[in-house]
A and B are shown apart, each in its own frame.
Chain A
Amino acid sequence: MEQGVDMDSWVIAMMLGASLLLGATALVAFLWAIKNGQFDDEEKFLNAAKFDGEDELNDAIKKEQKKENLKKSYRPE
């Protein structure tokens, strides 16, 4: 009997922990997107969902790389 109660608690703790962790992951992603300015222009992010494909993702990576390179080579002191 004692064993059963402990088992129940353990299951509930697990489920609570797992679901909160999942929720928190989504929240962190959402916060990152807000900080990143992805919701600043509502038209744009709605259209991104419609149009963005493989090319756009590649472009985004290229852009990041270019930014890094320029930052490295032209960093003013």
Chain B
Amino acid sequence: MSSKVACSHCHIKFDESVMIKEEEHYFCCSGCKGVFHLLQDRGLNSFYDKSKDIELSMQNQNLEDSSTFDSQSFYDKFVKTNSDGFCEVSLIIEGIHCSACVWLNEKVLHKMDGIIDANINFTNNKATIVWVDDIVKLSAIIDTIRSIGYNAFAYDSLAQELHANKERKSYYLKMAVAIFASMNTMWIAVAQYAGYFSGITQDIKTILNIAEGILATPVLFYSGWVFFRGAYYGYKNRVVNMDMLVATGATLTYMYSLYITISQRGEAYFDSVSMIITFVLIGKFLEVLSKKNAADTLDKIANSIPSEVKILKENRIITMKLDDVSIGDIVIVSSGERVLLDGEIIKGSGSFDESNLTGESEHIYKSAGMSVISGTLSVDADIYFRATKDFKHSTLSNIVKLLESAINKKPKIQQMANRLSEHFSSIILGLSLLTFFLWWLWTNNFETSLMVAISVIIIACPCALALATPVATLVGLGLGASRGVLFKEAAGLEIMAKTDTLVLDKTGTITVGKPEVVKEHILEEFDKTLLYSLALSSKHPVAKGVANYLKNSDENSCDIVFDEFSQLPALGLKAKLGNIELLGGNKKLLDENKIEIDFLTQGTLFYFAIDKRVVAIYELEDRVKDGVKEFIKSIKKMNIDVVMLTGDNQNIANRVAQKVGIKNILSEQTPQSKAEYINRLSSEKKTVVMVGDGINDILALASADIGIVMGSGSDIAVEVGDVVLLNSSIKSLEDAFKISRTTFGLIKQNLGISLIYNALTIPLAMAGYVIPLVAAISMSASSLLVVGNSMRIRYKWNRE
């Protein structure tokens, strides 16, 4: 018996007998051996110390020619020129297992001539490479990465993504400064307060004030810059926003404290300046963190459409940019590809999946002379067609245009905190002004009046108000994430809580979305392995459904290789094994082979015949998901109207609706009419949640106040949706509603707490009773109350 040994490069264990032996090293394949020697030659042995026993991928891969990376079109799309004039590309490195892999790649790249910088992120395997194009070409760089056993793909790093990262980084910097200064101010403040009660000389007080002032300066002017900017934009739009209150409050306090420090009289409030800015900045950062960018979504959609098509010109197949195709060009589409232009078939036939346009789940068979529509998917058709419209006027680009306008026009429901803070800010600024004048009239002392007026602003510190919403939504987002509900935007929670109409798509949302066998009729005994292998060879959903059924119900899962096998478009499958002929497909297939059978039901049928005798019939149906009926009931209890939309015909729609208990149904809907329906509901001042999963739902999803997408849905739909249900279950849809309502309740409570706090303390401040210690303590206390209240909800939910 031979023992197993590990490959010296990839550490995967194999039998000793199959390994390539070389001195004391063993290799599983020549690929690994090559990499091993390469690393040795370059003195990069320490890679193996770093990678330890982690198993890497084996090195025998077949890769596409790297010279395509040097083509102009590739450079146009992926390579950018950075500010120094060097080339920069973003790659995804495949095959990174451990930090040693990152180390190796960076090391090897840094050693290359002409490479200025290579930076690989271990967490997401994204790499940024900067190089001088005159010295080294991109193809050489990628070849190098491949030579050490990894592979690289280019990806388009979006402008928005870069922008978001930059914004986040600038917040990190600002928060670091603010938190550092506030923490230091706090311990200086302890000395101040101790001195306030037990006595302190003016000298010491001034020194402490100066120290606090030095700390508060960068906080106000560097970290607090966002508030000045926000206040300025607010001023331009004639709104008194929270930023205005924070900016004026902090600046006035700062000025006043400066005056106190210089005149060496009274109490300075520098600690309040730092604390207000720090707290509100943290709240703002939490908000930025959970914001979604509409432009980002559109970019991703545009990117998901291939930019090139195959064209037949002068008997040669060439690839051409989508925008350059003119009317009359002959376009080639193979099975499994998406049709990108409208046209008329001139050669070939096959079935097309038009579900993203019509919502019809059945495939449509098309042959020469018939028209194809852009955006549809060729299931099994290899066709040549003549373009009848250019891309700009095609159905597909029309849909993209509609989608753009739907996303941009998306109804904006103002968040409660924003609405509240507008009034709040004006009221506070007004009250403090009033206080100032009243005190001035009364005492005729400018200094005292100013101090009292400022104490009103400080005590009305919007910290708690600014934290009320972000902290609550953060708790909500966390609750959602732990239950497979992904809210892309924090505001989504609040909007969803106000929903009064729920619109559900049928396929994929209420039903599973794939046909499943509901009944099996065996007419004659036969070997089920034959049918299983036959069904497994096809990608058609019906055949897949049958294969799944057989896999679940029987153990005969061994695969037979047929002597002959063919897929008959829109009919079914045909295969030969020895001299047995197998047929599997629909009624038409039987008709064509002159097999007669008497069998009538409502569902989709799959017939299986051996040697022209039908031996089994399978009834398939798109099954309703578990728990839908209970869900509809509980939703109706929340006073939400439920509507079902579907592209399927009235019959199917009615049957499903009856099963789950929905009364409002709209059948035979196109993507556009679905979106129109949503718009009509919105114009009736309804807050609409749309749930869907397919491309045919994206317009409606984008038009609704909240679009919820099943995680199993198409990528574009997931991109457009505001909420993603990761496990695609109805249970998590119900959770989404519950979480949003809980969170909204929490927001209201938090806002209530901070308002009550203000209602109690502002009169005290106006009366001039507030001493600095009370101001500082109550400021922190109200913020802590808000945070604590939010945590309470989380523990309550987690215990359930």
Q: State how many residues of chain A have any CB contact under 8 Å with chain B.
A: 35
B173 touches A44 (CB 8 A): no
B172 touches A43 (CB 8 A): no
Known: A13-B207, A31-B177, A71-B84. A44 touches B201 (CB 8 A): no
B204 touches A8 (CB 8 A): yes
B172 touches A34 (CB 8 A): yes
B132 touches A70 (CB 8 A): yes
B214 on the A face (CB < 8 A): yes
List residues of B (117-173) whose CB comes within 8 Å of A's CBs: 117, 119, 121-123, 132, 134-135, 169, 172-173
Kindly state the separation between the CA atoms of A71 and B86 in the bound complex, as whole angstroms: 9
A20 touches B173 (CB 8 A): no
Interfacial chain B residues near A55, Cβ < 8 Å: 46
Interfacial chain B residues near A74, Cβ < 8 Å: 86, 132, 134-135
B211 on the A face (CB < 8 A): yes
Kindly state the separation between the CA atoms of A6 and B184 in the bound complex, as whole angstroms: 24
Q: Nearest A residue to B207 by beta-carbon distance? A: A13
B176 touches A5 (CB 8 A): no
Question: Contact partner of A20 among B114, B135, B214, CB < 8 A?
Answer: B214
Question: Contact partner of A16 among B86, B134, B201, B211, CB < 8 A?
Answer: B211
Kindly state the separation between the CA atoms of A8 and B102 in the bound complex, as whole angstroms: 56
Kindly state the separation between the CA atoms of A55 and B132 in the bound complex, as whole angstroms: 25
List residues of A (1-30) whose CB comes within 8 Å of B's CBs: 5-6, 8-9, 12-13, 16-17, 20, 23, 27, 30
Kindly state the separation between the CA atoms of A41 and B215 in the bound complex, as whole angstroms: 30
Question: Contact partner of B215 among A20, A30, A39, CB < 8 A?
Answer: A20
B123 touches A42 (CB 8 A): yes
Interfacial chain B residues near A37, Cβ < 8 Å: 119
B123 touches A41 (CB 8 A): yes
Kindly state the separation between the CA atoms of A40 and B169 in the bound complex, as whole angstroms: 9
Kindly state the separation between the CA atoms of A66 and B132 in the bound complex, as whole angstroms: 12
B99 touches A47 (CB 8 A): yes
B76 on the A face (CB < 8 A): no
Q: State how many residues of chain B have any CB contact under 8 Å with chain A.
A: 36
List residues of B (623-679) whose CB comes within 8 Å of A's CBs: none
Interfacial chain A residues near B102, Cβ < 8 Å: 44
Main secondary structure of the interface of A (DSSP, over half): helix
Interfacial chain B residues near A44, Cβ < 8 Å: 99, 102, 121-122
Interfacial chain A residues near B86, Cβ < 8 Å: 74
A59 touches B110 (CB 8 A): yes
B50 on the A face (CB < 8 A): yes
Kindly state the separation between the CA atoms of A23 and B119 in the bound complex, as whole angstroms: 31
A43 touches B99 (CB 8 A): yes
Interfacial chain A residues near B114, Cβ < 8 Å: 70
Q: Nearest A residue to B211 by beta-carbon distance? A: A16
B99 touches A20 (CB 8 A): no
Interfacial chain B residues near A41, Cβ < 8 Å: 121-123
Kindly state the separation between the CA atoms of A63 and B115 in the bound complex, as whole angstroms: 10
Interfacial chain B residues near A66, Cβ < 8 Å: 110, 116
Kindly state the separation between the CA atoms of A76 and B132 in the bound complex, as whole angstroms: 10
List residues of B (84-102) whose CB comes within 8 Å of A's CBs: 84-86, 99, 102
Kindly state the separation between the CA atoms of A20 and B204 in the bound complex, as whole angstroms: 16
A34 touches B85 (CB 8 A): no
Q: Nearest B residue to A33 by beta-carbon distance? A: B176
Whole-angstrom distance from the CB of B346 to the nearest CB of chain A?
A: 49
Whole-angstrom distance from the CB of A60 to the nearest CB of chain B?
A: 9
Q: Nearest A residue to B132 by beta-carbon distance? A: A74
A67 touches B117 (CB 8 A): yes
Interfacial chain B residues near A9, Cβ < 8 Å: 201, 203-204, 207
Interfacial chain B residues near A27, Cβ < 8 Å: 176-177, 180
B107 touches A23 (CB 8 A): no
Question: Contact partner of A12 among B119, B172, B204, CB < 8 A?
Answer: B204
Interfacial chain A residues near B85, Cβ < 8 Å: 75-76
A20 touches B123 (CB 8 A): no
Kindly state the separation between the CA atoms of A63 and B107 in the bound complex, as whole angstroms: 10
Kindly state the separation between the CA atoms of A37 and B169 in the bound complex, as whole angstroms: 9
Whole-angstrom distance from the CB of B289 to the nearest CB of chain A?
A: 16
Question: Contact partner of A51 among B50, B84, B188, B207, CB < 8 A?
Answer: B50
Interfacial chain B residues near A42, Cβ < 8 Å: 123
**Given contacts A23-B180, A70-B116, could you give 9 more A-B pairs where the C-beta distance is less than 8 Å?**
A27-B176, A31-B173, A31-B177, A34-B169, A41-B121, A43-B122, A47-B99, A71-B84, A74-B86
Closest 8 pairs between A and B when the two form their complex, measured CB to CB: A76-B85, A43-B122, A47-B99, A9-B203, A41-B121, A16-B211, A74-B132, A27-B180
Interface residues of A (CB under 8 A from B): 5-6, 8-9, 12-13, 16-17, 20, 23, 27, 30-31, 34-35, 37, 39-44, 47, 51, 55, 59, 62-63, 66-67, 70-71, 74-76
Q: Pick 29 A–B contacts, CB within 8 A, sort by A.
A: A5-B201, A8-B203, A8-B204, A9-B203, A12-B207, A13-B207, A16-B188, A16-B208, A16-B211, A17-B211, A20-B184, A27-B176, A31-B176, A34-B176, A40-B121, A41-B121, A41-B122, A42-B123, A43-B99, A51-B50, A51-B103, A55-B46, A63-B117, A66-B110, A66-B116, A67-B116, A70-B114, A74-B86, A76-B85
